[in-house]
Structure 1
């Protein structure tokens, strides 16, 4: 990324990269100061190279130099950009371990949206089961995962989608002045996981 943006910046007539760079002093000051790496993980993409775009106005997509896409046969969700790819969790956790010298990792966001039409969110239950299974597999691979946060506890305001996409384990009635909260099926599942560390219906003691 740094190399591509620097090269394109010079070709665009800038006297330095458009991407700000740390000084040697700043690098020395912050090196090794983090306590853990935080990972937001929802879905996966496939990536392929694209033909180099002629130099012109700076553009984020041109800087990328790649095209990302999702396979049509991956299971979709209420959020069009979130397709169920639990295998991606294990892959990215192992990549982080190898790339960043085995850091402690907290998965800070991981979840699935529904459209609010039912409390029986069986797809979300499968999502958590399969993603957490891949977290466990990554830990068995030696990845140092020290925490996990399901996103999210309750439905909330979701960026450009507002209240139309619901990531919560609890359904929030936004038409009620009290914002009444009702547990979805995923609440009982996630509660069991937290209490027993068991991802499936029954586990051996």
Structure 2
């Protein structure tokens, strides 16, 4: 009998794979030296999120979300930017669909705004919001792409946050109700669903570090929120499957390569703990009904707020798992603690003399390969989709062109690593570039550009395909380079 818990948690031996991480130029040279190929029927796509691109923040009955509130708090967002207009995709969705076709994309990952569908997060439905998502989905299908729809990409209805947000167990039931509403309304058009986007990010940064909405700084609140999130994944999964058992349903986690700061045994063990707390915390409970070994065993139930039956409520036999990968974390032991009992880590990205993107994240294609191979074992060889991966390069628009050669180099190195990971057993069936277009990058506002398409935010959000977008379109057409 397979020890599934041991398989999920793995061993510390791989925690520091790719620790040097500086060999990305070698990876790029290798990618240029030979053809990089992908399996037949591999899906090339791009991703966006509702708050980051839609705008129309209060249009046609939409209610306020926690991000609508957060951006209005002084000092929260760089340059005081907001997502009120963003890329104006609420009105320009047909232009976005045209870009999907021009870039030869066969999958488009986008999210729904919960408060556009349910202004209060429960009760009355805003039909105008559902109608918008019907029009958007029809445009995606007409562009020849598969819709991959994320139910929740961080924009919790403000009314639910007023009631406790993700620390309130009722929020898990509210997400299930919302899943039922959109599944019934859009299930004739959409077959592929991701429940949540990066629960680590919106719980850690929203409840522990306070730099994302709702802006709290309480590690114990954060722990409670992580458990409610895991309950919500199981409940929303069952709500969608009750509508149509043929729906393909999963969720999206961000994962990273964990690199010990030194070769000490203490730092290696810390990197393993952070692997469990970042890479497995929102997968193992769903797939196995248990939490990774991080918190003190005698305090875990109290710290998380676990109630009898929760181990079953969390469970979901996912049809696929989405993984987002950007960079690595450098992790060290911190015996004095960091507010999370038992974690005891100091963890930083962008640390040290390592090649970086314009946002300061390390370029780490080897870590991408190693993490995918390791996560495939933890996920149990379910289909994996890369639901986000990309780089911020703030190359300007000059004479109608964006010559962002650095992003092309980045993609070459990461795609070569992805191809190797697939050959090494990671069952990855799709890649979605972050992002289809430049957009509102959360606390960074409009200062960082991740898009394949340049958006001129000062000129009616005019779209211009970058050189990297043209190159990516050729990769998508040729299924390699």
User: What TM-score, normalized by structure 2, do the two folds share?
Assistant: 0.36
Query: Within 1, Cα distance between the matches of 2:339 and 2:430?
Result: 36
Q: More helix per residue: 1 or 2? A: 2
Match of 1:140 in 2: 423
Are 1:149 and 2:432 matched, yes or no? yes
Deviations 1:80-102 (A, max 9, x none): 2x221111111111111222322
Match of 1:52 in 2: 336
Query: Within 2, Cα distance between the matches of 1:157 and 1:52?
Result: 37
Equivalent residue in structure 2 for 1:67, among 346, 350, 357: 346
Contact 2:454–2:466 at 8 Å: present in 1 too? yes
Match of 1:19 in 2: 304
Match of 2:357 in 1: 77
Are 1:108 and 2:387 matched, yes or no? yes
Contact 2:395–2:404 at 8 Å: present in 1 too? no
Alignment gaps of 5+ in structure 2: 1-276, 278-290
- Pick closer, same or farther for the CA change 1:197–1:68 going to 2, 3 Å: same
Query: Within 2, Cα distance between the matches of 1:52 and 1:59?
Result: 9
Equivalent residue in structure 1 for 2:376, among 86, 97, 106: 97
Which SS does the other structure have where 1:43 is aligned?
A: strand
Are 1:38 and 2:328 matched, yes or no? no
- Pick closer, same or farther for the CA change 1:158–1:91 going to 2, 3 Å: same
Contact 1:116–1:165 at 8 Å: present in 2 too? no
Deviations 1:7-30 (A, max 9, x none): 6958xxxxx53224374x443455
- Pick closer, same or farther for the CA change 1:20–1:128 going to 2, 3 Å: farther
Q: Give the CA deviation at 1:72.
A: 2.4
Which SS does the other structure have where 1:97 is aligned?
A: helix
Query: Within 1, Cα distance between the matches of 2:412 and 2:424?
Result: 18
TM superposition outliers: structure 1 runs of 4+ over 6 Å: none
Deviations 1:68-88 (A, max 9, x none): 2345232111112x2211111
Match of 2:365 in 1: 86
Q: Give the CA deviation at 1:183.
A: 1.4
Q: Give the CA deviation at 1:65.
A: 1.2
Deviations 1:146-186 (A, max 9, x none): 11100001100000011110110111000012x11111110
Which of 1 and 2 has higher RCO (CA within 8 Å, sep 6+)? 2
User: What TM-score, normalized by structure 1, do the two folds share?
Assistant: 0.80
Query: Within 2, Cα distance between the matches of 1:95 and 1:29?
Result: 26
Aligned length: 186
CA-atom RMSD in angstroms:
2.4
Which SS does the other structure have where 1:193 is aligned?
A: helix
Deviations 1:106-140 (A, max 9, x none): 11000001224351111111111111111110100
- Pick closer, same or farther for the CA change 1:22–1:125 going to 2, 3 Å: farther
Query: Within 1, Cα distance between the matches of 2:415 and 2:365?
Result: 8
Contact 1:106–1:145 at 8 Å: present in 2 too? yes
Alignment gaps of 5+ in structure 1: 11-15, 200-205
Which SS does the other structure have where 2:332 is aligned?
A: strand
